[in-house]
Amino acid sequence: MNRKTRACTLLLLNAGLLLCWSACTEDPAAHTGHAQDEADHADGIRLDKHEALEFGVEIAEAGPGELRVEVVLTGEVRVNPDSIAHITPRVPGVVRKVHTGLGDAVETGDLLAVLDSRELAEAKAGFLAAGERLELARSSLEREQYLHQREISSEQEYLEARQAEAEARISLQSAQQHLHAIGLTEYEIQELAAEPDQVLTRYEMRAPFDGVVVEKHVTLGEMLGDESLPFVIADLSDVWIVLTVYQKDLAAIAPGQRAHIVASHDLAESTGTIEYISPILDEHTRTTTARVVMPNAGQWRPGLFVTARVLVDQFTAGVVVPRTAILTLNGEQVVFVETSDGFAVRHIQPGRTDADSVEILDGLAPGERYVAKGGFVLKAELGKASFEHAGHAH
């Protein structure tokens, strides 16, 4: 058929790769070309360079390739439970100042809030009083020891002085440990005697490590008790990627495997190592979890859903083609190979596969040139040729 006297429109539909065409005008002399046209299709489908470029047809040479068998898992980003702190007051008190807000970055020792605590004032006063009692007891012991050595006082009075000094010393140590338990440092305890009276009630809540305030439940003037939870601080410098592993994939997933993780199209793919797999399956879902610890520069937000591709096998095959090269024709899998007469259909026997490639066991030899992409155009041309041939036979 003369190309100048026909107009064809290719409408490629994803569902069926359907070729729609219509003949607008036809030269009467064109009928004489039917025999030659059918002969061309019998030998091969011809497609010039411009048509191949227009329809995205790509040619490749068959050869060996590497197949990567991967298991796809889903999961979510979670806070590392070893890097989260629930900040609670160690003594009850009334909130006098709040220095930190939700989402603020804090460093170790930063002041979060200040409370007025009567219990803290009593503990500090008890420590100071215990110190005074110890000094008095030591003076009494020294005096009794002096008198006892000169046989002026009795043995009983000397022993009572020793006992009083020991009790005062123990009382001071107990008061000091109480202040440590509340959160005061050794330096702060030693400086108590120099503090003005109004500072005795001051209780400071400070950050235990560098992190971010992820929860804040405190307001000015609020009364906080031992069970209050005014702040939650999390160190997000690394996070946990917790992946769901189904029962069918348990044999393939193991610690030490590399996982390629992506959360969305806006985030770059990251790679981590599976460090732990839970030995217990959920009795309802029959799944377990695998954990990847991922360094975090800010892109991994707890709560994000992620997809992970875990490499479980890797091997080299003699002939490997991309999945886009394989088409289905009359229920059989085929590829289009390049010949001297055009492109011809070649039935193939596929083997192992991965996400992008297929091993060819039979039907395509190393070195042969085949259509790696855009073969549906040739399939459409083949269908059109068959339709034309059927029309002429009728």
pLDDT digits (tens, 9 = 90+) for 158-194: 899 999 999 999 999 999 999 999 888 888 888 888 8
Report how far residue 380's alpha carbon sits from residue 388's, in angstroms, rounded to the nearest whole number. Answer: 12
- Would you state the pLDDT for residue 212? 94
Examine the pLDDT at 115 and tell me if it is beyond 80.
yes
Name 361's Cβ contacts closer than 8 Å, sequence gap at least 6: 348, 349, 350, 351
pLDDT at 386: 58
pLDDT of residue 199: 81
How far apart, in whole angstroms, are the C-alpha atoms of residue 208 and residue 360? 60
Instruction: Take residue 184 and report the two structure tokens written for it.
Output: 């005061």
Q: Say how far apart CA 104 and CA 334 lie, in whole Å.
A: 60
Max CA pair span of the chain: 149
Distance between CA 243 and CA 31 in Å, rounded? 65
List, for residues 200-250, the tens digit of each pLDDT value: 899 999 999 999 999 999 999 999 998 899 999 999 999 999 999 999 999
Q: How many CA atoms lie within 13 A of 75 on its CB side?
A: 30
Task: Note the pLDDT of residue 343.
Answer: 86
Q: Calculate mean pLDDT across residues 11-38.
A: 34
Residue 153 CA to residue 373 CA, distance in Å, equals 111
**DSSP structure class, residue 13:** -
Q: How confident is the model at residue 12 (pLDDT cuts 50, 70, 90)?
A: very low
Which pLDDT band, with edges at 50, 70 and 90, does 390 fall under? low
Cα angle 369-19-329, degrees, rounded to a multiple of 5: 50
Higher pLDDT, 253 or 48: 253
Please report which confidence band the pLDDT of residue 15 belongs to, taking 50, 70 and 90 as the band edges: very low
Q: Using alpha carbons, select from 311, 310, 314 the residue that is nearest to residue 243.
A: 310
- The pLDDT, as a whole number, for residue 389 is 53
Task: Using pLDDT thresholds of 50, 70 and 90, give the confidence band for residue 255.
Answer: very high
**Tell me, what DSSP letter sits at residue 103?**
T
Measure the CA angle with vertex 189, ends 188 and 195; round to 5°. Answer: 70
Q: CA-CA distances (angstroms) from residue 45 to 33, 75, 346, 359?
A: 16, 48, 12, 25
What span, in angstroms and rounded, lies between the C-alpha atoms of 351 and 346? Answer: 16
What long-range pairs does 382-388 form, CB within 8 A, spacing at least 24?
A: 382/41, 382/45, 382/329, 382/345, 383/19, 384/8, 384/19, 384/21, 385/37, 385/38, 385/41, 385/45, 388/1, 388/34, 388/37, 388/38
Structure tokens at 329: 């024709």
- The span from the CA of 115 to the CA of 231, in Å, is 14
β strands within 26-164, DSSP E: 58-61, 65-79, 84-87, 93-98, 105-106, 111-116
CB 201 within 8 A of CB 94: no
